Amino acid sequence: MLRSKVSFATKFFNRRYSSIPEECQSEKRSGLVIGIYQDCNGKQMLTNSGEAYDNDYGGRIKYIMERFKLSEGKAKLLHNISDQFSATAVASLGEPSKTYSETENLDQCKESIRVAAAAGARALQDSGIEKIFVEAFRNAGAAAEGALLATWRYQDLKQKNRQKTECTIDFFNPSADEEWNRGYAKAECQNIARMLAEKPANIKTPMGFSQSAVEILCPCGVSVEIKDRDWMDDKQMIPALAVARGSCHAPLFLELSYCGGSEDDKPVILIGKGMTFDSGGLCLRPCEGMGEHRADVAGGAAIVGIMKALAVLNLPINVNGLIPLMENMPGGAAVKPGDVVLTKTGRSIKIENPAYAGRVTLSSALIHAASFSPCLVINIATLTSGETMAMGSVASPTFSTSDVVWRELKKAAAETGDRVWRMPFWDHFTKNVTELPTVDVDNVGLERGAPLCKAAAFLLEFAPKVDFAYIDISGTGREAEDCPIYYRKGLMTGRPVRTIVQFLSQMACPQDIHSSPC
């Protein structure tokens, strides 16, 4: 019920409505995130949902916010505003006129919503709130993504009494449920990829990863087939098997199948690097930072998250996921610098540097992908630190043989805030890895420099003769560094799950345009 300004003023002196919690409110564990804009003159305005909520309680939030000026992407916790919630987080979206920016390749409206929802939800979570409600802002899907990604933690290996209380994220505006549910599903599945990448390597062995994939995907109708070493040998995956020889953990090959389209529709093939730990093999990596290479399975983890999202969203498309799982270790049988292996098609690969063995294992998966008669192949992997030096955590360098595929990937990335940047499949790089005097292909190349472009050129040599894209996530798919607030620093990001799900949605439902002010 609306309260008059007079009654509010009278009651204000009898009770404090502030940013300081009262002891008597401690038993209430729910909170609400609402948004506030700031126009070019510095005036702050609540969102429509925030305004309606505030009016129900006599304008208390507006009264308090007159004392504070929030910077964009920041949140302010207010306590004792209502009996419904023990805390209300007011999060700033900045100016209300944001839209798509071609220069930034970013839907800045949706991104500001993600950031604001993340800031508000994180503030409530850090204050001990267990049940967080988030308003729709101008795009409920973006709000769900920001809040869910921001509040994710990895605590599976901590003692129960040392774990921080987990919070749930719920929607405050039931009228936009469908949009919220889509965003929630995408973020939840990206968090699955984060969990798989975050696990320590001694738990996340090829078998351990496979078991997790079964537990995650089979209940939602995605087929998971675990192929063993004998099957890989029968398929002549000699390059992948050669890399796996240095580890005592047997390699496995995962085939994931989601059949949402008609039987006549050719599938999209998603291939993820599944190196559960990459020590560098006999070209051992430096000890400092080596532990981060448990995340060299991030490409495969993203594939699992994507497949889960396709099933949850029930997209009308056929997609197969291929993940070669193994470790790259310096055992007595490990590949040596200069070893040469033959592919199923008879081409020779010189493993000049065993630390670059990830692309060698992917050659076997790419050759196998042709047996599915796909319409498109997308490879996601962490192949080189050169990408990290080039773009850091801001964008994923992306190679594509198709302008149409690139255009749709760029559009999807702008929608999700997980940006991509096109890199070239130039003949110069192809010649660098193929024009050798003694072998067909080299995993390093003739010249120094351009490691990322040479890695992509290497993959293209084995890709089926259909549209092909390679997304390198060396800088974006591992531990969050220079990332938006909705990625907690030091934890895996799970990128590019939402971007690929959005891309596949555009493929499957090009006419399905959901209305939103953003």
Domain ranges across the chain:
5-173, 191-508
Strand extents, DSSP E, 65-199: 75-79, 87-94, 100-101, 106-107, 131-134, 168-171
Give, in words, the CATH class of 191-508.
alpha beta
Single out the residue of 118, 56, 57, 68 nearest to residue 91, CA to CA: 118
Q: Do domains 5-173 and 191-508 have the same CATH topology?
A: no
pLDDT of res. 389? 62
3-state secondary structure 383-447: CCCHHHHHHCCCCEEEEECCHHHHHHHHHHHHHHCCCEEEECCCHHHHHHHHCCCCCCEECCCCC
User: What phi and psi values does residue 271 have, to the nearest 5 degrees?
Assistant: -115, 125
pLDDT of res. 27? 56
**CA 102 – CA 106 distance, rounded (Å):** 7
Whole-structure pTM value = 0.93
pLDDT of res. 517? 74
What do you get for the CA distance between the two ends of the chain, in Å?
31
pLDDT of res. 481? 80
pLDDT, mean of each 10-residue run, the chain (518 residues): 39 43 57 93 91 94 91 95 94 95 96 98 96 96 98 92 91 87 98 97 97 98 98 98 97 99 97 96 89 93 99 98 98 96 98 96 99 99 73 93 98 97 97 96 90 96 98 92 90 97 96 68
Identify the residue whose tokens are 């909520």: 53
Are the CB atoms for 284 and 330 separated by under 8 Å? Answer: yes
pLDDT of res. 15? 44
Q: Which CATH architecture has domain 5-173?
A: 3-Layer(aba) Sandwich (3.40)
Q: Length of the chain in residues, anyone?
A: 518
**CA 81 – CA 28 distance, rounded (Å):** 12
